[in-house]
Amino acid sequence: MNDLMRRREARLGPNVPTFYDDPVHIVKGEGVWLWDAEGRQYLDCYNNVPHVGHCHPHVVDAIARQAATLNTHTRYLHGGIVDYADRLCATLEHDISQLIMVCTGSEANDIALRMAQAVTGKTGVIATDNTYHGNTTATSQLSTRRPPIGGYPEHVRLVPAPDSVRPVGGTSQDQAAAFARNIKAAIAELEAGPGFSALMLCPVFANEGLPQLPDGFLKETETIVRDAGGLILCDEVQPGFGRVATHFWGHEAVGLTPDVVTIGKPMANGHPVAATLTRPDIMAAFRNAFGYFNTFGGNPVSCAAAMATLDVIENEDLVAHAATTAPYMLQQLKTLDHPAIAEVRASGMFFGVELCREGTVPDTALAAKIVEQMRERGILMNRIGRDMNILKMRPPMSFSTANADQVTRTLQEVLNEAHQ
């Protein structure tokens, strides 16, 4: 392990992130399970990229068969990308019927920002102050974990993220209106300069820590954005493909009408593919303004992997499975007993346990300790939130109630030891 870490730093450079104080050297995956180089088995309660399970045989076979037949790019005609577009767009409403396929969610969000520029002729963009939308130059300017060198540019405004433990506006009842007021103020500031083009957000606020928000929370915000002539860009890289359990898309679950939807990570069960989806009028404006082309985006192997992932979601009825498993997991998590638990929450197959001192003071150290101890006990999870004090779980969609029992039983053991 130490030799591999030394070689890694020598070839990849310093400060390349790894999970855990004692990094896990993973060599094999199957379903919800991972194995390390020493043969130890781990329950994967963290990775949403293998959406239908690690190394699912149907996806693996689709990749292998297509790679053995043809792999080129979209300046040659191939039916795979059109077949996939037909099938995927059929899951969406709001006249969203066209897509651009790329390789990463960062690229997909970068395109979404440029679509808004093409439609509005303006560059100003709004996001929350506790988010992540990618690592291109444009998308990284929205990130709060690593602020841009030289400070945030004049076309970016970050508004306070919703929070169910420390709500914007002071109370849960006032939070939706307060969030909308902040959006309106940011729009006014942008209109005095570069102009307002779009609001970009994850519809379930996943990177913000999955705050528990009432139905219709974004209704007033959506009206304000529409009245200002801006676009709503929904980053579905995390909540898409049925993870919210009640709907196929996160924006459906919260009642939001997007102009652009971006997807990635679980789209092809770990194969590097992503996409930006939108209406024909927005696509035409973008295509005419930028003449975009992506060499690897939409290649036949990526399309085969993405199509096979849809097959598994449908054939194994994974959204319905999640609709049963997710409430059970949440119920079990709510039985956890520890004075630092400020809130237990979920959005489908996303789960968060916020840890605080004195009710609302983030307990980052305790969260970090618990994540490490869970790893030692063979369960992989991580942390999220502004202060990284929220235990974060987002397992593959095939995660079962038996897996949920294992997680909650082990987590209670770790919490008991931490309380001693």
Roughly what angle, to the nearest 10 degrees, separates helices 105-120 and 280-290?
A: 90
CB 91 within 8 A of CB 251: no
pLDDT tens digits, 257-299: 999 999 998 999 999 999 999 999 999 999 999 989 899 999 9
For residue 314, what pLDDT is reported? 98
How would residue 9 be classed by pLDDT, with cut points 50, 70 and 90?
confident
pLDDT tens digits, 109-158: 999 999 999 999 999 999 999 999 999 999 999 988 778 888 899 999 99
Where are the strands (E) in 243-286, listed by range?
260-263, 274-278
Residue 103 has pLDDT above 70, yes or no: yes
How would residue 17 be classed by pLDDT, with cut points 50, 70 and 90?
confident
Tell me the pTM. 0.96
For residue 1, what pLDDT is reported? 62
How far apart are the two ends of the chain, measured CA to CA in Å?
32
For residue 301, the one-letter residue type is V
Residues with Cβ within 8 Å of residue 147, at least 6 apart in sequence: none
Q: Which region among 116-120, 186-190, 288-292, 315-319 has the lowest average model confidence (pLDDT)? A: 288-292
Residues with Cβ within 8 Å of residue 234, at least 6 apart in sequence: 201, 202, 203, 249, 250, 251, 256, 258, 260, 261, 262
Q: Which residues pair with 355 in a beta bridge?
A: 341
CB 43 within 8 A of CB 33: yes
Measure the CA–CA gap between 397 and 319, rounded to whole angstroms.
8
Sheet containing strand 98-102, strands side by side: 98-102, 274-278, 260-263, 231-235, 196-201, 124-128, 156-159
pLDDT tens digits, 370-414: 999 999 999 999 999 999 999 999 999 999 999 999 999 999 999
Which parts of 74-174 fold into alpha helices (H)? 79-89, 105-120, 137-140
Q: Which region among 2-16, 161-175, 266-280, 288-302 has the lowest average model confidence (pLDDT)? A: 2-16
Roughly what angle, to the nearest 10 degrees, separates helices 79-89 and 300-315?
A: 30
How would residue 10 be classed by pLDDT, with cut points 50, 70 and 90?
confident
Given its phi and psi angles, is residue 104 left (phi above 0), alpha (psi -120 to 50 degrees) or beta? beta
Residues with Cβ within 8 Å of residue 8, at least 6 apart in sequence: 16
Read off the DSSP letter of residue 260.
E
For residue 2, what pLDDT is reported? 77
Q: Which of 45, 46, 8 is nearest to 25 (CA)?
A: 8
How would residue 104 be classed by pLDDT, with cut points 50, 70 and 90?
very high
Measure the CA–CA gap between 266 and 282, rounded to whole angstroms.
25
Measure the CA–CA gap between 303 and 191, rounded to whole angstroms.
40
Which parts of 90-130 fold into alpha helices (H)? 105-120
What percentage of the chain carries pLDDT values higher than 90?
Answer: 89
Tokens of residue 337, six digits: 């007993």
Measured CA distances, 395 to 34, 72, 392 (Å): 12, 33, 10
Measure the CA–CA gap between 331 and 420, rounded to whole angstroms.
25
CB 397 within 8 A of CB 322: yes
Q: What is the mean pLDDT of the chain?
A: 95
How would residue 12 be classed by pLDDT, with cut points 50, 70 and 90?
confident
Q: What is the three-class DSSP state of 407?
A: helix
Q: What is the three-class DSSP state of 354?
A: strand
User: How long, in residues, is the chain?
Assistant: 420
Q: Rg (Cα) of the chain, in Å, rounded?
A: 21
